[in-house]
């Protein structure tokens, strides 16, 4: 399922496949950590393989929630070689992909529940 998203990130954001794969893991891990568990679990159920990716990426719980989780995720994305514009592009593409595959309502509920993420989507 995520091969299509990786190709989309490469084409639309201009990053490498390796960076795209890492970015997906980090963002899914961030959502798992910072989003409402019931909504994120529903999202993961509708996007097969996402729960496993979230477990292998993101902040890994070491930063807590909220702003600390966001800062941890940002640090990991920057460590993967992404600049601020690329982070915003990646986030927009991943959220757009999720909306297309699971619906606007669920994704919007998750986005609204995470303070500060609105600036990236």
Q: How far apart are CA 23 and CA 86, in angstroms?
A: 10
Model pLDDT for residues 98-112, shown as the tens digit of each residue = 999 999 999 999 999
H helix intervals, 14-103: 17-34, 37-46, 50-55, 66-79, 84-102
Model pTM score? 0.86
What are φ and ψ of residue 56, in 5° steps? Answer: -105, 5
Domain boundaries, the chain: 2-120
Give the Cα separation of 61 and 98 in Å (integer).
22
Per-residue pLDDT of the chain (121 residues; tens, 9 = 90+): 689 999 999 999 999 999 999 999 999 999 998 899 999 999 999 999 998 888 865 444 444 566 677 788 888 999 999 999 999 999 999 999 999 999 999 999 999 988 777 666 6
């Amino acid at each position: 399922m995520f091969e299509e998203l990786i190709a989309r990130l490469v084409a639309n954001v201009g990053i490498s496949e390796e960076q795209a794969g890492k970015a997906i893991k980090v963002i899914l891990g961030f959502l798992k950590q910072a989003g409402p568990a019931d909504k994120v679990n529903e999202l993961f159920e509708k996007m097969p393989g996402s729960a496993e990716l979230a477990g292998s990426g993101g902040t890994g719980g070491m930063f807590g929630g909220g702003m600390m989780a966001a800062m941890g995720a940002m640090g990991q994305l920057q460590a993967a070689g992404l600049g601020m514009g690329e982070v915003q592009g990646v986030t927009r593409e991943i959220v757009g992909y999720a909306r297309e595959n699971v619906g606007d309502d669920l994704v919007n509920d998750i986005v609204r529940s995470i303070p500060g993420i609105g600036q990236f989507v």
